[in-house]
Amino acid sequence: MTAPRFDSAAVAAALGARGVTFLGAGTFGDTWRVDDRAVKIICAEGYLPQRVAREVAGLSRVRSPYVVQLIDTKTVSLGGKDFPALVFEYVSGGDLQQAIDNSRIPEPDQASALLVGLLTGVRDLHRADGTVHRDVKPANVALRDGAWNQPVLLDLGLARANTETTVTIYPGLLGTTAFMAPEQLAGRRARKAADLFAVGVSVRAALVGRHPFYEPGSSYTIDEAIAKISAGPVALPPNTPELVRDVLDRLVQPAEYERGSATSNLRRLGIAE
């Protein structure tokens, strides 16, 4: 795990808490657990205030059990500087990345429930004035109480537009570019279809225990990565339910429109409005 940008004692003091636990570091900040809350302190150099505003605005519009609940926003003073902080519910049970790292492979019905939960979360986000997550990946999917059927989308809206020139598949599938849709890799705008692609890649990764397009430990140019995606994913386990297989195949299509919408994919899985 990447080290926090500030030590825990300073963070606890700044938050007025008796103790804090470091949960992880993201592109723009660190997340700490404080009692039953998770506090994300936006403390990295170069963050854009409008991105924070976008996350706050997006999350404020969403009420979904599959999207982390934003409780409050505040300003935190650390190292003589003021930083914005977002206070969320703390979702216990670990995240999808940890499940993959621990070789927890979902059973077919659990995979179906995971997919439905993620698509529902994405649908609820997209319905909130067209909010797009832009950074769906296993590390940003909490499993409430460790349950496959209760995925919760975390860390909305802070992903940078892609300026990377390579896609590196680090051990444990860390890194944002590994879950980017081809249009994001190519530097084009990330739309709703990009979230659907990332859901497809994340669920496939959970099912097969590895990235569905890239070899572990490899590094690809953007063109090579896009070619890998065009070549198609590794096969799903043979016991994957047909409806789940159909939807997962759609979600990782290179052409955005072929992925459909979250709503239409939920319908394909038999989930009515």
Partner 1 sequence: MTDNWFDESDEWSDEPDDAAQDDTKIESDIESKVSDTATGERQIATLPDGRYLVLTGPGAGSALLDGTGSTEARTSIPTRDEALLTGALPMMLVHRPHQAAGVTPRLLASIVAATQGGVSLGVSAMLPSASESAITQWLSEHPAAALRLADPGCYLMDPTIVRNKPLSERTLRWAPYLGREVLDMRELLDHQRNVGANLLLSPGRALDPTNPQDSLDEAFAAADDAISELNAGERLALNLTMSTQWLTSTTLREALFAQLVDQEQFDLWHIRVQWPASLRAFQQPSDASLLGGYKRLAQLASDEERQLLLPQTGLTGWLQLGFGAAGFGAGPFGVGQAFKEHSQGGGGGNTPVPRYFEPTLLHYVERSVHDALSSQPDYETCDCPYCPALLADADWDHELARLHGLHWLGRLAALPTTSGRSIEAAIRRTVRTARRAAERQPLADISSPQHLRAWDPLL
133 binds partner 1 (CB under 8 A): no
* Nearest residue to 55 (alpha-carbon basis) of 44, 42, 38: 42
256 binds partner 1 (CB under 8 A): yes
Give the binding range for partner 1 (CB under 8 A) out of 6-14, 76-84, 214-222, 255-263: 255-263
Q: Give the full edge-to-edge strand order of the sheet including 29-34.
A: 21-25, 29-34, 37-42, 81-89, 70-78
DSSP E strands, 8-140: 21-25, 29-34, 37-42, 70-78, 81-89
264 binds partner 1 (CB under 8 A): yes
How would you write 162-175 as a 3-class SS string?
CCCCEEECCHHHCC
* Nearest residue to 205 (alpha-carbon basis) of 132, 99, 68: 99
Site for partner 1 (CB under 8 A): how many residues? 15
Closer Cβ to partner 1, 135 or 195, answer by number: 195
Binding partner 1 (rule: CB under 8 A), the pick from 5, 37, 104, 127 is: 127
Minimum Å gap between C-beta 110 and partner 1 is 27
d(CA 247, CA 41): 36
263 binds partner 1 (CB under 8 A): yes
d(CA 202, CA 148): 13
Structure tokens at 47: 């963050």
Per CB under 8 A, contacts with partner 1 among 169-198 are 191-193
Closer Cβ to partner 1, 74 or 189, answer by number: 189
267 binds partner 1 (CB under 8 A): yes
14 binds partner 1 (CB under 8 A): no
Binding partner 1 (rule: CB under 8 A), the pick from 19, 130, 172, 237 is: 130
Question: Where on the chain is the footprint of partner 1 (CB under 8 A)?
Answer: 126-127, 130, 191-193, 255-257, 259-261, 263-264, 267
